[in-house]
Structure 1
Amino acid sequence: MTGLAAAWELQQQNVPYVLFEASGLLGGKVETTLADEGFLIEKAADAFILGKPYAAQLAREVGLEAEAIHPREDTKKLYFLRGGRLLDFPGHLKMFVPLDDESFRASGVLSPAGTERFLNEVNVPPRPPTDEDESLASFVIRRFGEEALNFIVPIAAGIYVANPYELSMQAAFPQFLKMEQDYGSLIAGSRATPRASGPIFMSFREGMGALPAAIAAKLTGEVRLDTPVLRVHPDGVTLAGGEKVTGSAMILAVPAWYAAPMLSQGFPETAQLVGELRANSSVAVTLAYRREDIEFDMNMHGLLVDASEGIPLKAMTVHSAKLHGRAPEGHVLVRCFFVGLEPMAAYREAVKEVGRLLGAKEAPLDHWYGDWRGKNPAYQVGHLEHLARIRQSLPPNVKIGGASFTGVGIPDCVNAGRTMAREVLILRAAEA
């Protein structure tokens, strides 16, 4: 998505480009499959957030506005698995921050003592202003108490599949650090700022794969699929087959684990720094069932799992209820997320947990994998400083960005691609 966005921006500015894609499909992790049975399967993201406008803006530019859909309001119910019980997820939250003390107390997602410590965050003084980074765990425990970590981590760290003791607040959640400084408290700040009106997330009728497909259909520059880049040089790239392609600027929109080898000859210092970036692992298993074979009321968006529950399952999303058009009538589509398991082990756990928690009486009709072992960027404490060193080690005409570096969400990737393209254009204008 980062590379597609960069190419689109260059095209908008009438700048010639060549886009190299190692695989046969554009879009990276954003991939949608329509199974023969009529199930719409998302390999990774099923929607993107609208609070960051970059992806929605790009969708409008490529003509997808009429295809936009949003999570269903009539099935907007979540559960929280704690102590082996499915509890109603607290209402009146802004992400994980309660806007109403009493509804949070009534939820039971924390012990009475943990609940009161959580709500007392409003009285915890802010950390003195500092440039020093801290982990998500440090921030949560400092502001909300140790027990709160089990509730907040599934919400806040889920998209990063992250160890909360390593995840950088500056890189992942700078808005919370700012709110702490501006209002002295996340609870106070959340209650003082109005909630955005309208939907929070957006997807497309034909799935998330519609976005890269629509961009690709409108690209008029040279696009070369199944063309891995072997090396990046100050004046171009060498392809895996040995062909050298020259260019005035290079934009690397690839994960760190691919970027480091590409940079090893031309930019050894950068390659070492990029190679130090770590990644986490996850596996998503999507299961299809007949509606009659599941006892639980499946008119819900899904469930989150308390971080102390001690099971590999981290969350479930009921795609058939969350978004229209994801399963044929009378069927259910459930996606289960795991950390630390191989795909087949994850499948067995998924079947077991859907049976245990939702009362599935039969085996699933079919299943699909999203195998992201070693492919979830890990923004460790100090990530932004490390990123600055990476960029400083490169000449101005070589840019690097994307999910490994500047945000894992689709809007972040779109913004990264377009920003790098604009930086190249500024350089081009200065040299003209």
Structure 2
Amino acid sequence: MGRSVAVIGGGVSGLAAAWELCLAEVGTSVVLLEATDRLGGKLRLEDVGGVRIDVGAESVLARRPEAVGLLDELGLTGEVTHPGPAGAAIVSRGVRWPMPRGTVMGVPSDPESVRGLLTDAEVDRLAHEQTTGPVPGDLSVGDLVDARLGPAVTDRLVEPLLAGVYAGHARRISVDQAVPVLAAAAHEGRPLLDVARAAAAAAADGPLAGTPVFASLVGGLGRLPEVLGQQLAEAGVRVRTGTVVRGLRRDGAGWVVSSGPTNQVLEERFDAVVLATPAAPTARLLREVAPEAAAALAGVDYASMAIVTLALDGPPPEALEGSSGFLVPPAEPLTIKASTFSTVKWPWLARAHPGRTYLRASVGRHGEEVTLQRSDDELVAAALTDLGSVLGGDLPAPAATHVQRWGGGLPQYAVGHRSRLAPTRHLPPGLARCGAAYDGVGIPACVASGRAAARVVLTHWDERSDALG
């Protein structure tokens, strides 16, 4: 007799969970329920000046196998593409400095590589790391780096990199969760500089030396959920968008999922449920069936942000040439926190649209929601002003613009995050959870999380079958 699973949430984690269920279990009926009108979560393509372009995540970490492995399974290997050779920069004291090579989340392997970006006194403090023995327990990334290497390293190197990943602040984010290699060094009393040197040596001479760090798809990474959703439907998965899930309750050995408008709630029974929703809606669904897990998830905070995309007529202006963009530390008097020169960064985009230049800027860090209360036009104007300030001149008037707001887009890994969410790892049988709130916000981590949740469900069935003899 076939078994049924509901996957709640159609972001990349939920899509990966549904895909794993299709591959691993013949005869399993899978229903994927997504509250919005489309699949993909923070992966999205939108028309900007007649071109469909990423307005969410634009790349995956290629040196982790999960995302590129999924692209291979979907038959997309031939369409995988990588950034061009131009590197990024960091803005420090109003000047763009080349991104130092060989860093671990901003901790440099060679202090001399950041001279200029940091003052001579700041470099001297960095070079003379202060270790005080093993550090027990979790602490923030910023507090660790402050104590070991000096606050300037946190403010001008770590902050912009962490903001690019989490839209958060270094002195609030858990080092155990966000940068485990630095956490391990702290717990063992080893120098952080040694960790960075080892990582730089591995990048130069290790098994992944010479391989691209990041990858995307020709046509944009937003194609991934489109292709995956299509192949899931072809495999028999029932995909239902615009479906708000309102309740979850136990029914014997299975689960009843309530969904739909309040005046027409639909109740459906499933043998298992995968929860691939953000922390707050997951907490609401678990409130009655797993109260400890629900309480833990209710305390997870999220950061909001916006992506401003600009389309310029003509080839890239001279100020954009030779760079793929820049990061902005919060110490700088700018509204934007980063800019990507998309046409320079992605050769496929330059080849496909030689008469247009695309670039984008990101706005918003955790706790800075006031910035995002501006209108779309005001955000575009702020982005243009900041770009002009950093690049040393006004850009041409855009031919087209687009503002994509990601409200509550990125979970914040506060100090103690891992231990605080321990109850979510022990849900009642037949339930599993996945997503960015748990073990990583990057796409490879979300793919891994989704597939792991599917295996939890499958393992539960196998163990129950064995017990029944």
Q: TM-score, normalised by structure 1?
A: 0.91
Letter in 2 for 1:239: S
Q: Residues 5, 46 of structure 1: CA spacing in aligned structure 2 closer, same or farther, 3 A cutoff? A: same
TM-aligned CA deviation for residue 296 of structure 1: 1.3
Is 2:66 aligned against 1:66?
Answer: no
Contact 2:35–2:241 (CA<8 Å) still a contact in 1?
yes
Paired with 1:291 and 1:55, the residues of 2 have a C-alpha distance of 34
In 2, Cα distance between equivalents of 1:411 and 1:214 = 17
Shift, 1:404, TM fit: 2.0
2:152 to 147, 156, 175: 147
Match of 1:296 in 2: 319
Residues 320, 341 of structure 2: 8 Å contact kept: no
In the alignment, residue 383 of structure 1 is paired with which amino acid? H
Amino acid at match of 1:54: E
Equivalence for 1:178? 184
Q: Distance in 2 between matches of 1:158 and 1:35?
A: 23
* Root-mean-square deviation over aligned CA pairs: 2.2
Call closer, same or farther: CA 1:36–1:283 in 2, change over 3 Å: closer
Report the Cα distance in structure 1 between the residues aligned to 2:227 and 2:439, rounded to whole angstroms.
24
Answer yes or no: is 1:50 the counterpart of 2:62: yes
SS in 1 for 2:58: coil
Q: 1:4 aligns with which of 11, 15, 19?
A: 15
Matches within 5 A, 1:267-306: 267-291=290-314, 294-306=317-329
Higher mean C-alpha displacement, 329-338 vs 256-265: 256-265
CA distance in 2, matches of 1:97, 1:274: 31
1:252 paired with 2:275, answer: yes
Correspondence for 1:424 among 434, 457, 466: 457
3-state SS in 1 of match to 2:323 = coil
Q: Percent identity?
A: 31
Shift of 1:315: 0.9
- Cα separation, 2, equivalents of 1:291 and 1:134: 48
Kept in 2: contact 1:167–1:381 (CA 8 A): yes
What residue is the counterpart of 2:170 in the other structure?
Answer: 164
Q: Residue 437 of structure 2 corresponds to which residue in structure 1?
A: 404
Q: Which residue of 2 aligns with 1:223?
A: 239
- Residue 121 of structure 2 corresponds to residue 110 of structure 1: no
Q: C-alpha displacement at 1:126, in angstroms?
A: 6.1
Q: Deviations over 1:292-326 (max 9, x none)?
A: 68451433110111331132221111111101233
The answer to whether 1:390 aligns with 2:396 is no
Q: What one-letter code is carried by the residue in structure 2 that aligns with 1:147?
A: A
Kept in 2, the 8 Å contact 1:231–1:265? The answer is no
Q: 1:125 to 1:269 in 2, by over 3 A?
A: closer
Please state how far the C-alpha of 1:45 moved relative to its aligned partner: 0.9
**Which stretch of structure 1 is more off in the superposition, 345-354 or 194-203?**
345-354
Q: Deviations over 1:170-203 (max 9, x none)?
A: 1111122224556822322332341132100010
> How far is 1:266 from its partner?
4.1
1:378 is displaced (CA, Å) by: 0.9
Instruction: Please tell me the residue identity of whatever aligns with 2:242.
Output: D
1:239 corresponds in structure 2 to 259
Q: 2:386 & 2:453 partners in 1: Cα distance? A: 43
The one-letter amino acid paired with 1:332 is: T
C-alpha contact 1:29 1:44 (8 A) present in aligned 2 = yes
1:82 corresponds, among 92, 100, 123, to: 92
In 2, the alpha carbon distance for the partners of 1:249 and 1:116 equals 57
Decide which moves more: 421-430 or 257-266.
257-266
Q: Which runs of 5+ in 1 are unaligned?
A: none
Choose 175-184 or 230-239, whichever is displaced more.
Answer: 175-184
The answer (yes or no) to whether the contact 1:183–1:189 under 8 Å persists in 2 is no
Distance change (3 Å), C-alpha of 1:16 and 1:332: same
Partner of 2:360: 335
2-structure distance, mates of 1:331, 1:5: 34
Give yes or no for contact 2:310–2:398 (8 Å, CA) kept in 1.
Answer: yes
Aligned letter for 1:237? V
Residue pairs, 1:368-387, within 5 angstroms = 368-387=402-421
Supply the AA of the counterpart residue of 1:320: T
Q: Report the alpha carbon displacement of residue 161 of structure 1 after superposing the two structures with TM.
A: 0.6
Q: In structure 2, how many angstroms separate the alpha carbons of the residues matched to 1:115 and 1:175?
A: 22
The residue aligned with 1:206 is 219
Tell me the equivalent position of 2:140.
Answer: 135
Runs of 5+ consecutive residues of structure 2 not aligned to the other structure: 1-11
Tell me the equivalent position of 2:381. 348
In the alignment, what sits opposite 1:24?
Answer: 37
The match for 1:320 is: 343
* CA displacement at 1:125 relative to structure 2: 2.6
- C-alpha spacing 1:291/1:420, structure 2 compared with 1 (3 Å): same
Q: Structure 2 CA distance, aligned partners of 1:250 and 1:185?
A: 44
Q: Tell whether the 8 Å contact from 2:258 to 2:266 is kept in structure 1 after alignment.
A: yes
